[in-house]
Structure 1
Amino acid sequence: MEPSATSPISPMLAKALDSVPDADSVAGGLLYEPKWDGFRAVIYFDGETVEIGSRGSKMLTRYFPELVEAFTAQLTQPTVLDGEIMVRASSRGSTGGERLDWEALSQRIHPAASRVAKLSVETPAMFVAFDLLALGDESLLERPFSERRAALEALAQGFAAPLTITRTTTDAALAREWLVEFEGAGLDGVVAKPLAASYAPGKRVMLKIKHHRTADVVVLGYRVHKSGNGVGSLLLGLYDESGELRGVGGASAFSDARRLELVEELAPLVVRDEDGAAVTGETDRSRFSGSKDVSFVKLEPTRVMEVRYDQMEGSRFRHTVQFARWRPDRDARSCTFEQLEIPAAYDLSKVLE
């Protein structure tokens, strides 16, 4: 059946690897692409109207009117595209170039139509296509990726900003260079796609290689798990240049048993009032919080843990980090932003060439 907005397709996913694999490590070979860091989106155009579906099949159409206009103007027949929605902005570094701006992109999800219209002009989005799932009345899902890519390249000859197509290479050595260089433009890593593979909705057929680093952080508190039992997530902090302890993100994904163990393990660190009750606080709310409980149990900031992270967004971890180990040998005051690895700036426009 041809994918459509009335029968939305679940995007094909990727499984993580520690390093870029050789091109001949998979039968039929691999094609490498930059791993874009935005909103994964499947575009459905029936010849008249456009719908934009998210990774979870939630419709994002109303939030990106400038993209709807572009797809309507540039697509000449029914089309289903897989790709990424992003916002580009001037680099915060000294290169004078551009980079991806996740914060500006996240601001685009707003309930007020007037705000959506305003931001579509002030921080317009772009779409980078990396797969073609249907064209005309034909579904391409069963075709090998090599054929889908060739069809996408032919289609993209008619693209103009804000629509574009991702660059690719079959050279693993070049892909390894991209993994290092493109992070400075805000990208998330490298994706390797089997050229002989059909499109497998919801399956982890592609391979992704992301940046993985470690940092020693201070545990500031914990949120109770949504079940009401045990630790749901740990809140983490680092000391800035002025000596202030600032929140930088959280760590989660603990097993049921580990969640309960952490409550006992952290009990001696719980800050208590004069009556012996645990002191709680609240993290800042965002448009993604909604009615979610943002309260947490405060802890004395003396426990240090090592975490694995991929990249920073401003002064916070871009994604939830993973617990690596406790660091009883580290003094909490020694956990500063200086330990973080900051990638060299790289101009986004060079990635898009």
Structure 2
Amino acid sequence: MPLTPIVPFEPIMTDLLPSGEQWIAQIKWDGVRMITYYDGGEVQLVNRKGNNRTRQYPELLDIASYCRADSVILDGEIIALVDGVPSFHQVMKRDSLRVEQQIKARVQQVPIVYMIFDILYYNGEWVTGRPLRERQQLLTETVIPSGHVQLVPSYTDIPLLHDVSVQHRLEGIVVKDVNSVYALGGKDKRWQKRKNIQDVNAVVGGVTFRDGIVNALLLGLYAEDGRLVYIGHAGTGKLKVADWRSITERVADMAVKDRPFVNQPERHKGAVWIRPEWVIKVNFLEWTPGGTLRQPSIQAFVDVSPADCRLDP
């Protein structure tokens, strides 16, 4: 039976970590959320937005090598490690590829690990209605860890895991109620996340130049009324010289006359406005009182709809 893609359960943000015997904590891996579907014949990898990524990760297609199931749906995060720390920039080098030859080359250049933390479907039956503690037990019986596949460990000492995540410069932790069922398409306090690093997906609405090369991206988020609000500019981060040159070449066909932002960017002199089609992930320190990002750092271009990049109400 072909398996239809689902919308995964999401944690809510929190600054106050819960306590009690029903709570466990897991490292929040800075990667790409990926659902694996195996209907008994074919393996499909689909990301959180419903986009198929099966071709991009060929090392995960032999599901029999890491999963004891006749049919299954697994939930996890695909990560790429740099010096032992997950790098979103590196994993996006894999996720953004479309050409078969490039994909094969990157398999060796950018090795990935699939960090699995949940199971939704097993041998023809949905298990989303079972409590998390039972699903985790089923996972340990079903998944065979390997170089490319690992189970996400769970810990009961939540403050300690949070301290460890800070010390090792990890993105944060996720805290889960072991009695919780898996709510398809849901998002509530039964799963909570605390981030050490703030990030946001933002729309690029303009660029600035230095010596004929783009040197900064002007960023925005959509308000409830549909207008694009400027939130700052970013010119530092993970992009290399070759990336900036590529951006410069592509900007020429994207330029528009009118400013796409409803408000005036502080860095608008000499700016070129572009169609708001690109989305980038940006890490930042905090929001300023003026509603802009403090010390934004570009992580990667991401395959996200600009319409989904919204200001919190």
Is the TM-score greater than 0.5? yes
- What is the alpha-carbon root mean square deviation over aligned residues? 4.0
SS at match of 2:61: helix
The counterpart of 2:153, out of the listed 167, 170, 178, is: 167
Of 283, 289, 309 in structure 2, the residue corresponding to residue 325 of structure 1 is: 289
Whether the aligned pair in 2 keeps the contact of 1:10 and 1:55 (CA below 8 Å) is: yes
SS at match of 1:105: helix
Return the offset for 1:12. 0.5
Q: 1:225-274: per-residue Cα shift (whole Å, max 9, x none)?
A: xxxxxxx778799xxxxxxx9637735244439x59x79xxxxxxxxxxx
Q: Deviations over 1:268-296 (max 9, x none)?
A: xxxxxxxxxxxxxxx8766xx99995768
Q: How does 1:108-127 map to 2 (within 5 A)?
A: 108=94, 109-127=96-114
1:145 corresponds to 2:145: no
Q: Does 1:56 align with 2:56?
A: no
1:107 shift after superposition = 1.5
Structure 1 partner of 2:164: 178
- Normalising to structure 2: TM-score of the pair? 0.68
1:331 matched to which residue of 2?
A: none
Q: Kindly tell me: are residues 116 and 132 of structure 1, through their superposed partners in 2, closer, same or farther at Cα, counting changes over 3 Å?
A: same
Sequence identity of aligned pairs in percent? 21
Q: How has the CA–CA distance of structure 1 residues 321 and 143 changed in structure 2, closer, same or farther, with 3 Å as cutoff?
A: same
Unaligned runs of at least 5 residues, structure 1: 92-97, 215-222, 224-231, 238-244, 264-282, 304-315, 328-334, 341-353
Aligned counterparts of 1:252 and 1:284: Cα–Cα separation in 2: 25
Q: Is the 8 A contact 1:82 1:132 kept in 2?
A: yes
Q: TM-score, normalised by structure 1?
A: 0.61
Checking the alignment, whether the CA contact within 8 Å between 2:15 and 2:194 is kept in structure 1 is: yes
Q: Please, which of 8, 12, 19 is the counterpart of residue 11 of structure 1?
A: 8
The aligned length equals: 255
Q: Which has more helix, going by share of residues?
A: 1
- The partner residue of 1:76 within 55, 68, 83 is 68
List alignment gaps of at least 5 residues for structure 2: 209-213, 231-243, 270-279, 298-313
Which residue is 1:66 aligned to? 59
- Check whether the contact 1:252–1:321 (CA below 8 A) recurs between aligned residues: no
How far did residue 129 of structure 1 move? 0.3
Question: After the TM superposition, which segments of 4 or more aligned residues of structure 1 sit over 6 Å from their partners?
Answer: 232-237, 283-286, 289-292
Q: The residue matched to 1:174 in structure 2 has which SS? A: helix
The separation in 2 between residues aligned to 1:16 and 1:74, in whole angstroms, is 32
Equivalent positions of 1:93-112 (< 5 A) are 98-108=84-94, 109-112=96-99
Q: CA deviation at 1:38?
A: 0.7
Q: CA separation of 1:317/1:9 partners in 2, compared to 1, >3 Å: closer, same or farther?
A: closer
